Amino acid sequence: MPLVSAHSLILQSFPYSETSKVLRLFTREMGLRSVIAKGAQRPKSRFGGILEPFTGGIAFFYLREGRDLHTLSGFDLLRSRQGLGRDLTGFAGASLVAELVLRYATEEPHEELFEALEESLDAILAAQGEGRERAAFLAAWRVVDLLGFAPRTDACVTCGRALDAEEPVRFDAAAGGAACRDCRHSGRILDPASRGELGSMLEGALPERPFADPSAQRALLRTYLNAQLAQERPLRSLELFLQQVG
Ligand SMILES: [Zn+2]
């Protein structure tokens, strides 16, 4: 069994047997991996209680080819991000992006996604007040985009016509994005400002001001994730997050 090392972000950590923990890691070099940290629940564990969600570091593990669970040998802490656990909005936003990555990432490396996740968690942690909510929305849409599920915002999903930036439209979550009013006759109007904010978040830019209509942003995230990413299995952190920001 080769000993490998990988830049890792702990996305999930749960007890396994009396004394051990299983971690789901998203790594820069090897995508999504599961490792067992033997003895990690013991009071004097050599892992020292650092193996918690959103912690970043270098994981060393024995790679068992063809297996799903590898054995953690060491973890060099780089960023603990413990502050995320002290703020429910930040924690719920971070949990949502983690859940999306856990559900859709694979063992294939996805360096851009790894960097975006690290940046996003740090940005959520650093933001203050209402900005924390915006940082979490940005994080969610960036991850949706990098996982390959971005909604269309600049053209109608039905007829393909380019949409004017000032044009009120509707949103067809099941069809994958904005729809012109000729194609979609009913449903809530998506105002130009909210559509612009969504478009910039999908390009990785944080809207500079508080959302023009926070309830429109909540509705977009809820309907789109439920239609395109949750499918049969609701995303547990989505409602938790929306409750915090609602
Ligand atoms: Zn149309």
Ligand 1 centroid distance, CA of 141 (Å)? 23
Q: What would be the CATH architecture of the domain defined by 83-245?
A: Up-down Bundle (1.20)
Q: What are phi and psi of 146, to 5 degrees?
A: -70, -25
Ligand 1 centroid distance, CA of 169 (Å)? 9
Q: What are phi and psi of 181, to 5 degrees?
A: -70, -15
Fold of 3-80: OB fold (Dihydrolipoamide Acetyltransferase, E2P) (2.40.50)
What span, in angstroms and rounded, lies between the C-alpha atoms of 233 and 212? 31
Where along the chain do its domains lie? 3-80, 83-245
Average pLDDT on 212-228 reads 96
**What tens digit of pLDDT does each residue of 63-106 get?**
998 899 999 999 999 999 999 988 999 999 999 999 999 999 99
Sheet of 177-179, strand order: 177-179, 169-172, 189-190
Give the pLDDT score at 199.
Answer: 97
Could you write out the three-class secondary structure of 176-245? CEEECCCCCCCCCEECHHHHHHHHHHHCCCCCCCCCCCHHHHHHHHHHHHHHHHHCCCCCHHHHHHHHHH
Give the pLDDT score at 66.
Answer: 86
Ligand 1 centroid distance, CA of 202 (Å)? 21
What span, in angstroms and rounded, lies between the C-alpha atoms of 161 and 173? 17
Burial class (CB in 10 A: 0-12, 13-18, 19+), 103: middle
Ligand 1 centroid distance, CA of 188 (Å)? 15
What span, in angstroms and rounded, lies between the C-alpha atoms of 22 and 72? 9
Q: What are phi and psi of 108, to 5 degrees?
A: -70, 135
The overall pTM is greater than 0.75: yes
Ligand 1 centroid distance, CA of 157 (Å)? 7
Ligand 1 centroid distance, CA of 225 (Å)? 22
Ramachandran area for residue 223 (φ above 0: left; ψ -120 to 50: alpha; else beta) = alpha
Give the pLDDT score at 11.
Answer: 98
Ligand 1 centroid distance, CA of 175 (Å)? 12
Give the pLDDT score at 245.
Answer: 87
**What tens digit of pLDDT does each residue of 175-201 get?**
999 999 999 999 989 999 999 999 999
Q: What are phi and psi of 23, to 5 degrees?
A: -115, 140
Percentage of the chain lying above the pLDDT 70 cut: 100
Instruction: Name the token pair of 96.
Output: 């949502």
Would you say residue 140 has pLDDT above 90?
yes
DSSP state letters, 5-21? EEEEEEEEEEEETTTEE
DSSP state letters, 54-113? T-EEEEEEE--TT-SEEEEEEEEEEE--GGGGG-HHHHHHHHHHHHHHHHH--SS--HHH
Bridge pairing between strands 69-79 and 189-190? unpaired
Eight-class DSSP state of 151 = P
Ligand 1 centroid distance, CA of 46 (Å)? 60
Ligand 1 centroid distance, CA of 181 (Å)? 7
Give the pLDDT score at 85.
Answer: 87
Ligand 1 centroid distance, CA of 228 (Å)? 20
Q: Within 10 A of 167 (CB to CB), how many other CB atoms are there?
A: 16
